Amino acid sequence: MISFTNVCLDTFGYALPPRVITSEDIEGQLSPLYQRLRLPAGRLELMSGIRERRLWPQGTRPSQAAVLAGERVIGQAGIDPKSIDCLIFTSVSRDMMEPATASFVHEKLGLSSSCLVFDISNACLGFLDGMVMLANMLELGQIANGLVVSGETAEELLDSTLAGLLADPSLSRKDIKPVFASLTIGSGAIGLYMRRVREGE
């Protein structure tokens, strides 16, 4: 079991996209498919437990979403962005393959040129992995503090999944099962400022 004695989870922050789309909305868009396959309404929410998800305005980049959360964390923590030693970007979504999306977040947050920046991607566990990575560096005394951020943008995948399901009239119930997970995703952003424990804490 991983254990840390010198790590403080100081400040969390998040940003929610403005657009809400319900599972009922998605099923409404898929009504031709539902009717053809005789799927009952409410199936998506029943099977996933997800009533609604949120989406950013079209064209929002993962780095832009992560910056919103990062700015909130920095503001709530009352810290100077230039004092941050490490930034880890942990989303599945990325601005591009290279350079690291963390480099765009770094620039937009105004972090120092000596700040270590990199991406970690591991599906739904990416943010947790980023926390563990940062905690290890803090525990070893390699850094004094750091920021983990994630900015997910699900719009393109959700839209393309819906379009694909509607475009192929030969799909069966069995055919649509593998794409079910793509109908459950949503967008959002989160950040966490972590630091070494101060003396007396």
Structural domains in the chain, sorted by start: 7-196 (3.40.47.10)
Q: Which of 124, 139, 155, 201 is catalytic?
A: 124
Q: What is the mean pLDDT of residues 159-184?
A: 93
**Cα–Cα distance list, 84 to 39, 73, 77, 146, 183 (Å):** 51, 12, 12, 6, 37
Question: Whose CA is closest to 173, among 37, 32, 31, 30?
Answer: 37
Catalytic hit among 86, 98, 156, 199? 98
pLDDT band at 199 (very low <50, low <70, confident <90, very high): confident
Strands (E), the chain: 7-15, 19-22, 52-55, 86-89, 116-119, 145-152, 188-196
In this prediction, what percent of the chain has a pLDDT beyond 90? 94
Active site residue 107: no
Beta bridge partners of residue 8, listed in sequence order: 195
Instruction: Please choose, from the candidates 186, 176, 114, the residue with its C-alpha nearest in 3D space to the C-alpha of residue 151.
Output: 186
pLDDT, position 1: 72
Q: Is 8 an active-site residue?
A: no
Q: What is the dihedral of CA 66, 70, 73, 74, to 10 degrees?
A: 180
For 11-58, how does the pLDDT look when each residue is reduced to its tens digit (9 = 90+)? Answer: 999 999 999 999 999 999 999 999 999 999 999 999 999 999 999 999
Q: Kindly indicate the confidence band of residue 201, based on its pLDDT and cuts at 50, 70 and 90.
A: confident
Q: What is the pTM of this model?
A: 0.92
